[in-house]
Structure 1
Amino acid sequence: MEKAEEWLNYGVELAKEFGPKVLTALLIFIVGLWVIKRIIGGTKKVMYNSKYDESLQRFLLSLVSWILKIFLILLVIGQLGINITTFAAVIAAAGLAVGLALQGSLSNFAGGVLIMIFKPYKIGDLIEAQGVLGSVKEIEIFTTKLITPQNKLAIVPNGAMANGNIINYTAEGKMRVDTTIGIGYGEDIKKAKKVLLEVLEANPQVLKDPAPSVNVSELADSSVNFAVRPFCAPEDYWSVYFATLENCKLALDKAGIEIPYPHQVEIHKKE
């Protein structure tokens, strides 16, 4: 019984000594998160009104948020009575090991900074990098998120993005759609070329400048192949691609121009 009372008294003494510190630290943490949220919200409005690049906005807001949260954690630790100087010394002593363990993350962070500086792409651009084709959804501190044509989310490390090859299909505002259409050797090449060109010119999604082109690209084994190349806006690529194939086939059929295909010849044996 006496021992239980001793433990109870000891608990009361601890509560008196550390309770106010813990409550104050908790209050600082809650208020701090609220203040950080307000700061990020205000900064976001300032950036929006100043017409900052959307990619840069998200990157800087994410970076500022992390810095403020780290500062808040240090403030809470200090309020709990832990010596921040000692705590910092421990962090510094472990810095080398942590740095080695996080080499990839540091490389990705540096890559994110380089992407923000040189801007090889921005949010909304259609790019191809690291074997992935997709539209840029977000550029974060460590990674870039892409939405593929199959509507899949691809997350690519910024370190790899900054150090690898990047094809930006949106940067110039125009894309060339490459298709190949073949006709039979016995058909009129000039007539077929005119029909194909009219198909391209009739499509409102095909750009006038640069003008679409139709040229003989190959004399194949069973066909004369045309390189049919319209230009369009990047977001119209697939619709123009599919429309070109379908409409060219329909137009050639209407003009009586044969598109070669393998023929099967039946051989009848005499009994």
Structure 2
Amino acid sequence: MENWVNDLNHILLQNIVPFGTRLAGAIVLWIVGGWVIKVVKALSRRGMAARGIDSTLIEYLESAIGVTLRVLLVIALLSLFGIETASFAALIAAAGVAIGMAWSGLLANFAAGVFLILLRPIRVGDFITAAGITGTVTEIGMFATTIDQPDNVRTVVGNNKLFADNIVNYSTNDFRRVDLTAQLAHGVDVHAAMAALKSRVAQIANVVQSPAPDVEILEFNAAGTKLVVRPYCHNKDYWQVYFDTNKTIMAVGGESGWPIPAPHQVMHQRQG
């Protein structure tokens, strides 16, 4: 019995206690390391922001710093348990080559992300259309870009697909054009209608004064004359100006007593 107790104590002292000590140290290292990573990311973000670095580049670099530090933390944890880090590094390199060959698309997304950051066709906060998606860019990550669509649906697009497609950036220029039409009935004074619309549309909130709104004849059809109504505004005000312009067209037509446009046909009866 005494020998069995001695063997048990020997096993505890030689194996379990050291393992428990390493495990406790690993837990502490993981918690402290995670806290240090957060602090380093916050300090790096603050430093880059103080130097006026673009917010998109800040997000990208912060993400890269976080991933790198997390990998180093995992290597430190493995080293704590006696695993040779040199062998582990070689294993990571070999695995990286294998994964790179198998997941070439992932590396293509990473390379495209680098070009998106360097060339800056888009930035965080821009309203764009690309890869069949229209919305506001919320994040440009290492492998994918996150876009919030106008209906509040979040979409994640691979950087390579985004970079390979045509990118329409609505936020780059100071203003954009709103395209609407106004159908006039036969008998309405076209020039008076154009002057009334141009005056009232210019008074809509957030419509820029330069360039001034365009009101011109677009076409002649069976219902009468169709006008094009084109105010200009900042991208953030686009939908407000769009809907207010429609309301203004309706209001001007009601105040001026314009008849409801309808197709007209003229029939000639031939005497038999």
**Superposition TM-score, scaled by structure 1 size:** 0.89
1:125 correspondence with 2:131? no
The letter of the residue matching 1:111 is A
The residue aligned with 1:267 is none
Q: Deviations over 1:88-140 (max 9, x none)?
A: 22223333321133322222222221111011111211111111111112222
Partners of 2:51 and 2:220 lie apart in 1 by 57
The residue aligned with 1:170 is 171
- Describe the SS at the equivalent of 1:111: helix
The residue aligned with 2:193 is 192
1:148 correspondence with 2:149? yes
The residue aligned with 1:23 is 24
How many angstroms does 1:21 deviate by?
3.6
Question: C-alpha root-mean-square deviation of aligned residues, in Å?
Answer: 2.2
Q: Deviations over 1:56-111 (max 9, x none)?
A: 11111111111111111112212211111222222233333211333222222222
Alignment check: 8 A CA contact 1:192 1:257 kept: no
Higher deviation after alignment, 247-256 or 27-36: 27-36
1:228 correspondence with 2:239? no
Q: Deviations over 1:204-245 (max 9, x none)?
A: 311111111011111122221111111001011111111111
**Superposition TM-score, scaled by structure 2 size:** 0.88
The letter of the residue matching 1:233 is H
The letter of the residue matching 2:186 is Y
The residue aligned with 2:57 is 56
The residue aligned with 1:116 is 117
Partners of 2:210 and 2:5 lie apart in 1 by 89
After TM superposition, where is structure 1 displaced by more than 6 Å over at least 4 residues in a row?
Answer: 1-5
The residue aligned with 1:266 is none
Partners of 2:17 and 2:152 lie apart in 1 by 57
Alignment check: 8 A CA contact 2:217 2:228 kept: yes
Q: Any stretches of 5+ residues in structure 1 without a counterpart?
A: 264-271
Partners of 1:140 and 1:84 lie apart in 2 by 29
1:1-271 aligned at under 5 Å gives the runs 9-261=10-262
Higher deviation after alignment, 172-181 or 40-49: 40-49
Partners of 2:127 and 2:24 lie apart in 1 by 50
Q: Percent identity?
A: 33
- Describe the SS at the equivalent of 1:202: coil
